[in-house]
Copies of this chain bind each other. A is one copy, B any other.
């Protein structure tokens, strides 16, 4: 039976309450000051792969949208990440974070050393948006509903617990606090309007669950490789590589 708008929205939010990656123990460790410098670096390296794929995902979405109005509304997501003439963009801000934790930003941007499991999860998201319905693609983006809390916690936790952390290094998260709400308000409304049958509501909910899996799997991979007793898979980043020269000398 088709759920009411309010019941369906509550169902989507409940997915976040149960499955969003703020519940993953890596985030407690990260925000609580428990990460070693190398664990921080491993997180920054792997999370970069997700960041750099987001504009490709949004372009894949736009490539399937025949309504110019919807394309225009969606385009700002690409601008937020890739940057504009007046906004350096989230990808460059993430590379600033990389330098702040002692990584060579060119090494990070090369995406060498990213865990294969991270690639598989992120690439699965890109393929999902390419192949599934527009409704499922928009629903998958709704993990942004749950992001402001984790970003606020992260800014506070990193500032409190790590020497590298300052407003400059953390500007990525502050900007997302500003940008994400407008995107997610639009996306949530779109899903609530377009998921107008029980079948479509189920598809949208499944898409959001899929996306929480994409995020969670990245942290599981990070945990397995870099948190004791970590086992780094062949070819993935090894501590002491890809560092800034200053960091190597110190």
Contact = CB atoms under 8 A, between A and B. Distances in A.
A62 interface: yes
A56 B66 contact: yes
A118 to B, nearest CB: 14
A68 interface: yes
Contact of A52 (B66, B79, B83): B66
Contacts of A60: 59-60, 63
Interface in A121-156: 126, 130
A78 interface: yes
A62 B68 contact: no
A33 interface: no
A71 to B, nearest CB: 5
Which residue, of A63, A66, A126, has the highest number of chain B Cβ atoms within 10 A?
A63
Contact of A63 (B57, B81, B83, B92): B57
Contacts of A111: 66
A71 B66 contact: no
Interface of A: 52-53, 55-57, 59-66, 68, 71-72, 75, 78-79, 81-83, 89, 91-92, 111, 126, 130
